[in-house]
Every structure is written in C-alpha cells, then in structure tokens.
Amino acid sequence: MDWNEIQNFSSNIVFGILLFAMVIYWINLSFFTERSIFSQIGRISTIIANVLLFFILCSRWIVAGYFPLSNLYESLLFLTWSLLTIYLYIETKTKSRLIGAILIPVTLLINGFANLTLSPEMQKSSPLVPALQSNWLMMHVSMMILSYATLIIGSLLSILFLVISQYREIDLKLVDNSGLPLYNVMLDYYEAKVISSSNKISEISELGKLKLLQSLDNWSYRIIGLGFPFLTIGIISGGVWANEAWGSYWSWDPKETWALITWLVFATYLHARITKGWEGKKTAILGGLGFFVIWICYLGVNFLGKGLHSYGWIS
C-alpha cells in the first residue's frame, strides 16, 4: 500500500467518523435537554477526525515536499481541518451542543465532496506548476482558507440567529435587564431552557431564548471579526504574489473579483456593527449573505474553468 492509498483510506475513515459524530450530535440535541455522554462521544469523535486530517496533511507535505495547498482536494482537506479546529475551540468556550449539530454536517459535506466527487487524479499530489513555485504559496493560500473557515462559522451562526428568532426583529438590549446571569459564552444553559420548554412557552424559556440569541449574535461578531483580517492579509499577499508571478497586482480574475466581493460584504458587516451600532437581525442578514458569497468565491468560480487560478478548476 503506497502513500496515496494510505491517505485515501485515512480520508475515508475521517468521512465515516464525521458521519458518526453528526448522528451523535443530532441524537444528543433531539433527545436530551442536558449535556450527556453523547456530547463527550461527539467531541472525542471530532477530535479523532481532526487528528487524522492533520496526519493526512502532514504526510502529503512530507511526501510531496511542499505545503499541501496546491490543488482543490488539498484545500478542501485543509478547510475541513480548519473548521473542526475552530469549532473545537468554540465548543470548549461555549459548552454548546447546538453549534456542533449545524457545523459537523458542513464538514461532512466538504469531506464527502473531496473524497467522493473529485477524481482520483485530482486527489493525487503532483509537481507544482511554475506559478505556484513560490514562498507566497503558504502565506496566501493558508490565510485565504483560514479566513473562509472562520467566516463560514460566523456566517452559520448568523443564519442560526435568523432561524431561532424566526426572522423577527429582536431587541437584544432587553436581555441585560432580564434578571438572568450574564453568561456571555455559556450557551448550553440557555439551549436547555429553550429546548426543554418547546411544548410550553414560559417566561424563563423566552428569556433563555433571548439570551441564546444574544450569545449567538456576540459569537458571530467575534468570529467574523477574526476572519476578516485573515481575508485581508490573504488578498494583499495574493496581490504581491501575482505581481511577482504575472507582473500585475490585480487582474480581475473571477476568483479575485469574488474575493473582493466577499471582502466588501464582511467589511459592510463590521462597519455596520462598529460605527452604526447594528446588531441582531440586520447584521445577521449580512452575515447570512456572506455564507453564500464565500462558497461562490471558494468553489463556485471553479466551475467556470477560466482565469488565472487554473489549478483549482473542476474538470
């Protein structure tokens, strides 16, 4: 069994573990109002999948001799690893069961697309094309993928805010006067209050729901605020690299154009929050829009089959 077979086998194991973890998270969320053994099983499964992905990426780096971000398959694996790593940190801070139930399916779909849709030829490591033989490869692509991962999570939390609030305008300022303890990051307490009272809405469940929405709004803002500098650094480093490789900082390539659109969407989000004081539904709509823009930028333009980012084409 050669290295490619070992890596493919390990990647298939990751897919199976993520599928198992998704089922566990959904069972835990559907049938238990408090944290149970299923939470620990789901977390351990996610950690194992993350470690295996780290092993796959490192082995490809060692065997190929360059940072494993030279094609679409490797970038999908790195994106999955980044999403799981950030998620594990968030879960440690929030003790939330809800975030895992919506994020693990996303990582499962990404991993499934990489393993089941891309051809074996696209999954193999291959010599770098001349344009990619640069020290800027690690800087530019890693920053872009990290920005995608953080912004995807922040956008998902915005969408979750809209779903739980049922697309209604919620005055989050009322939460501070609710009489409930200000647990800014402890989501599990309020999730239990909302879930356990799904059949009978009481005053405490409504207050718990408001607090859950405030926490989601807060965490969405924090994570998007972290991902935006990554995106900015990625775009700037890409421009410098483009000038070095092609003699031009900006060429209005489809990938470049959509990266700029993504940057503008999240710049608008942060501007609205910081200078206009927006929160709740308005910013959640912007964040939710960003989720779809990211996927067009990262994956959608690859179906066009034209532009300077030809290594990412889907044939």
Q: What is the DSSP letter of 68?
A: S
Q: For residues 219-236, give the mean pLDDT.
A: 93
Which amino acid, one-letter code, is at 44? I
Q: In terms of C-beta density within 10 A (0-12 exposed, 13-18 middle, 19 or more buried), how is residue 256 classed?
A: buried
pLDDT, greater one: 154 or 36: 154
Is the distance from CB of 294 to CB of 148 less than 8 angstroms?
A: yes
Q: What is the DSSP letter of 135?
A: T
Average pLDDT, the chain: 80
Report the alpha-carbon distance of residue 141 to residue 131 in Å, rounded: 13
| 260, pLDDT greater than 80 | yes
Percent of the chain surpassing pLDDT 70: 79
As given in the structure block, the two tokens for residue 88 are: 């594990």
pLDDT score at 171? 65
Report the alpha-carbon distance of residue 90 to residue 82 in Å, rounded: 12
Is the distance from CB of 87 to CB of 101 less than 8 angstroms?
A: no
Is the distance from CB of 104 to CB of 14 less than 8 angstroms?
A: no
As given in the structure block, the two tokens for residue 76 are: 């999908």
pLDDT, greater one: 30 or 306: 30
| 1, pLDDT greater than 80 | no
**In angstroms, what is the C-alpha Rg of the chain?**
21
Q: For residues 84-99, give the mean pLDDT.
A: 86
pLDDT tens digit string along 125-156?
776 666 667 777 788 888 999 999 999 999 99
The pTM of this model reads: 0.85
- Dihedral-angle region of residue 47 (phi above 0 means left; psi in -120 to 50 means alpha; beta otherwise): alpha
Q: Hey, which of 102-106, 113-117, 250-254 has the most confident mean pLDDT?
A: 102-106
**What count of other Cβ atoms lies within 10 Å of the Cβ of residue 90?**
21
| 83, pLDDT greater than 70 | yes
Per residue in 132-143, is it b (16+ CB within 10 Å) or e — as a string?
A: beeeebebbbbb
pLDDT score at 225? 93
Is the distance from CB of 39 to CB of 97 less than 8 angstroms?
A: yes
pLDDT tens digit string along 261-278?
999 999 999 999 998 888
